Structure 1
Amino acid sequence: MTLTIYTKPAGCFACTKTKQKFTDAGIAFREVDLTTNPAALEFVEDLGFAQAPVVLYEREGSEDCWSGLNPGKIAQVIAIETAAAA
C-alpha cells in the first residue's frame, strides 16, 4: 500500500483535515509539498487536478486518486487498510 498526499501546507484546511483523518486512523502516508516541489505540481496538474490536497492511493496494482477534502474516499481507504491489517 502506498498513500501519497500532495499538499499546500500553509492555510489549506482540506490538506490539514485529510492528513489528520489518516493520522488518527494510524494510516501511514507520504506528504509532498506542492509549493516547494515543481515536479509534483506538474504531476498533479497532468492528472487534471487544480485543488489541494491530491491523494493518490495505491494497493495491489490498483490506484485511486482524488482532490480536495473527500470524507467518503478517506473512510473507504481507512476501512480497506484497517481490514487488511486485521
Structure 2
Amino acid sequence: MNVTVYTKPGCPPCDATKRKLDKLGVSYEARDVTTDPEAKARVQELGYLGTPVVEYGETHWQGFSPDKCKQLADNLAKDAA
C-alpha cells in the first residue's frame, strides 16, 4: 500500500506534514489538489474540505498531526518486518 499526501501550494500544514514524514523515513506520493482534479475529488470522497490529507489504505486524516505521522511510520515498520 502507498501513502498519499494531498496537498496544495502555500500550505504550511502541508509542508509540515511532508517534513515530518520525510524525517520519519516514510515514502509518500504528494498530489496537488489545485492541479489534479482526481486528487481533489478523492479528498472530497474522504469527506474533507481542506489540506493536507494523508491516506494509507483505510487510514486517513486531515491536518498536521505529528502523532499520527509517527503512528503511521511505526505501522509501516511493523508491516515491513
- The bucket for the TM-score relative to the shorter chain is 0.7 to 0.9
Q: How many residues are aligned here? A: 81
Structure 1 residue 4, shift from structure 2 partner: 0.4
**CA RMSD, aligned part only?**
1.4
The aligned counterpart of 1:29 is 28
CA distance in 1, matches of 2:42, 2:80: 30
Which 5+ residue runs of structure 2 have no aligned equivalent? Answer: none
The aligned residue for residue 50 of structure 1 is 49
TM-score (norm 2): 0.88
2:5 aligned residue? 5
Using the size of structure 1 for normalisation, the TM-score is 0.83
1:41 lines up with 2:36 in the alignment = no
CA distance, structure 1, for counterparts of residue 23 and residue 77 of structure 2: 12
